[in-house]
Amino acid sequence: MAVVTESKSTYIWDMQNSNEPLHVFPYASPAVCIRYHPKDNKIVTGHENGQIAVWDSKVSGPPKSVSSPELSHRDIVTSIQWIHTKVGTEFLSVSLDMTIKLWNSAQVEAPLEVIDVGVPLTFIEYDPSMPTKFTLGAKNGYIISGNRRGSTLQEKLPWRMKVGDGPVEIIERNKAFSKIFLTLADGDVKIWSEDCKDCPIFTIPKTATHFTGAAWSPTRFSVIAVARSDNYIDAWDFIESRNQPLHTSWIDNGIMLTMVAFDNIGKCIAVGGTNGTAYRVQLSENFVNMTHEERAELSLWFENDVAAYKGLDAKLREAKMKAHGGKGVLKSDDHDEVEEEYEVGINPEEAGLQYLRTLEESENISD
């Protein structure tokens, strides 16, 4: 099944029969984001007017329930995620109005909880393997860690890190290595580790255009599918190559691709375009299955890259401290107080050159 939002209607499609949609959900305000709950066939949509709507995925027509206008978001709802709870009907929404709201789909008129983050929010990521945690993407290029168990705002939002200079459009964790995640911001796709927050461990090399979507494979954990604004899909497999995509597919002419997503078994990719068209791309078995040896190789690559960047970060900080006469304390996780030592997102070559320049400055000061 595929879900497509276009204008003021949301369409449910059978991926095996693309002649006409199974169901159509009309609404007065265009839907901006959507999430499907497979266990109870519910669909939740977030709208331009800030409202939340709940639908039955098996029945066309109006929504089952809608959030009250005065208790809804005050700006566009940018992202929604179902979360793992005992009742199984709760989800989170974020908005440009700077708030996170917790809802129960059984009674969506009013939110259960509201958190004011203080910055316009563009995305929310949730991994069921970490049921109390979530990650927020912000308009200013930061991602913010969240914890539902916190009692204070500091405990609820313990750390943040900068991943770009523009809105964070996507955050997605690797399905096998939960500390590894990708981001899409400023048209760049980067891979990060929670153990190394100052710079990415890998950046997808720039093409002639910018990237508009990215997703991890749910079955072959070394594979990322990336949508490009020039209508191409790149399939990267980091076991095979880290210099170029293993396969590139041209989708259509005259549109710009806007999103990409894998199905649950990793055999198909759904792609969306600016003209409202959805595409289905079938993958070869090389992009679907993964051996134990390949998984171990990928784990080692992640570990080595994180260790390398941690070592570089430590040397940069040491040189910085020497340059300032050993004064001051630098904290790696507190980006509100840390003076950045190098630009977030630079590649290893640039980092190395900056490290050497910092050492030279330190030696000159010492002399």
Domain boundary pick from 265, 290, 315:
290
Q: Identify whether residues 237 and 324 lie together within a single domain.
A: no
Hunting for tokens 């990409």 — which residue is that?
A: 260
Question: Residue 345's pLDDT is what?
Answer: 38
Q: Which is more confident, 103 or 209?
A: 103
Confidence of residue 88 (pLDDT cuts 50, 70, 90): confident
174 with 128, same domain?
Answer: yes
How does residue 5 score in pLDDT terms, banded at 50, 70 and 90? low
Domain range holding 335? 294-366
pLDDT, residue 309, reads 81
Residues of the chain above pLDDT 70, percent: 83
pLDDT of residue 366: 41
What's the whole-number mean pLDDT along residues 10-28? 73
Tens digit of each residue's pLDDT (9 = 90 or more) over 149-188: 888 999 999 999 999 999 999 999 999 999 999 999 999 9
pLDDT category at 109 given cuts 50, 70, 90 is very high
* Same domain (yes/no): 286, 301: no
Are residues 242 and 159 both part of a single domain?
yes
80's enclosing H/E stretch is strand 77-82
Least confident of 4-8, 109-113, 282-286: 4-8
Examine the domain organization and report whether 259 and 319 are in the same domain.
no
- Final residue of a structural domain among 259, 290, 321: 290
Of 364 and 212, more confident = 212
Residue 94's beta-bridge partner residues? 79, 100
Average pLDDT, the chain: 84
- Cα separations in angstroms, 260 against 52, 62, 104, 145, 217: 24, 28, 28, 24, 11
Do 260 and 307 have their domain in common? no
Handedness of CA 140, 8, 273, 240 (dihedral sign): positive
Same domain membership, residue 307 and residue 271: no
Same domain, 115 and 160: yes
Name the burial class of residue 124, with classes exposed (0-12), middle (13-18) and buried (19+) by CB atoms within 10 angstroms of its CB. Answer: buried
For residues 218 and 264, is the Cβ–Cβ distance under 8 A? yes
- pLDDT for 341: 34
Q: Same structural domain for residues 259 and 130?
A: yes
Do residues 176 and 242 both lie within one domain?
Answer: yes
Residues 307 and 172 in one domain: no
For 258-283, how does the pLDDT look when each residue is reduced to its tens digit (9 = 90+)? Answer: 899 998 899 999 898 887 788 888 88
CB–CB of 234/205 below 8 Å? no
Chosen domain end from 266, 290, 314: 290
Q: What is the CATH number of the domain that holds 216?
A: 2.130.10.10
Domain count, the chain: 2
Question: Out of 1-15, 57-71, 224-238, 243-257, which region has the weakest mean confidence (pLDDT)?
Answer: 1-15
What integer pLDDT is reported at residue 356 of this predicted model?
43
- Of 109, 82, 107, the closest CA to residue 93 belongs to 82
Q: Are residues 239 and 303 in the same domain?
A: no
